[in-house]
Amino acid sequence: MTFINVSPATPQSVLAAHPLFQGLPAEVLQAMCLQADLHSFHAGEVVFHEGDAARHWFLVVQGHVEVVRFGCDGDERVFHRFGPGQCVAEAAMFMAHGRYPMQARSVGTAAAWRLGRCALQRACETHPALGLCLLQDLSRRLYHYINEVEWLTVSSAPQRLAACLLRLSADQGTRLELPGTQRQVAAHLGIRAETLSRLLSEWQSRRWVQGERRHWTVLNPAALENLTGALARAF
């Protein structure tokens, strides 16, 4: 982790643009950022370890940071990837045990403002509306993770990969780039890297997809849609 002295955007300006902090008085934003410092991370560098004392949360300004957990067998599960303008570990600032529940690491090179736990807690005490916004955001994310757990429970590896490719295609078009290496994507989907590689190879032979490594083209979206089935909720 490296300290950076100069940034094109102050932490106050980045926070002010975030939906959770919009409308807060300038003096509150300033107080939250009094001891903020900007850090850069190399590809794969750990931002914080699971179990570390949760004294800081982070505001990503460049690149991406992902949060992961490792199982007893050593397999990793990627829970979420955060990009510029998004907060990392703000929920951990309110956990009674005071420790990070997951590990965070940089995906490629990244930069993020590091902000203090106490300043965020004081801002919630002086502005209860901020606490309510944080609670609503946590509720939304909890609902998302409940649906994701259900999806991982009832879906197969082909369904998860097909759904992932369709989501990426909806955002990027039929020519798409995976949001990481195949091993990282497999970890995010909760499947083994070997399984993901085998599925892509099979689908390429069927002319459903075409590509290699991180760059793929969806040739037959209907085939992928048939795989996913009608498992998504309407709300």
Domain borders along the chain are: 2-128, 154-225
> What is the structure's pLDDT at 144?
80
Cα 113 from Cα 12, distance rounded (Å) = 10
> What is the structure's pLDDT at 5?
45
Query: Which of 76, 54, 228 has its CA nearest to residue 154?
Result: 228
**Does the predicted model carry a pTM greater than 0.75?**
no
Q: What is the CATH number of domain 154-225?
A: 1.10.10.10
> What is the structure's pLDDT at 23?
83
> What is the structure's pLDDT at 232?
52
Classify 214 as helix, strand or coil. Answer: coil
Cα 78 from Cα 44, distance rounded (Å) = 13
Please give the full DSSP string across 100-145, using - where no structure is assigned: -SSEEEEEEEEEEEEEEHHHHHHHHHH-HHHHHHHHHHHHHHHHHH
- Each of the 235 residues of the chain gets a pLDDT tens digit; together they read 554 444 457 888 889 888 888 888 888 899 899 889 999 999 999 999 999 999 999 999 999 999 988 877 767 777 888 999 999 999 999 999 999 999 999 988 999 999 999 999 999 998 898 989 899 988 988 888 787 777 777 788 999 999 889 989 988 888 998 887 888 888 878 888 899 999 999 999 999 999 988 899 999 999 999 988 755 544 4
Is the distance from CB of 165 to CB of 175 less than 8 angstroms? no
> What is the structure's pLDDT at 70?
81
> What is the structure's pLDDT at 230?
55
Q: What is the CATH number of domain 2-128?
A: 2.60.120.10
Give strand pairing partners of 106. Answer: 65
> What is the structure's pLDDT at 191?
87
> What is the structure's pLDDT at 122?
92
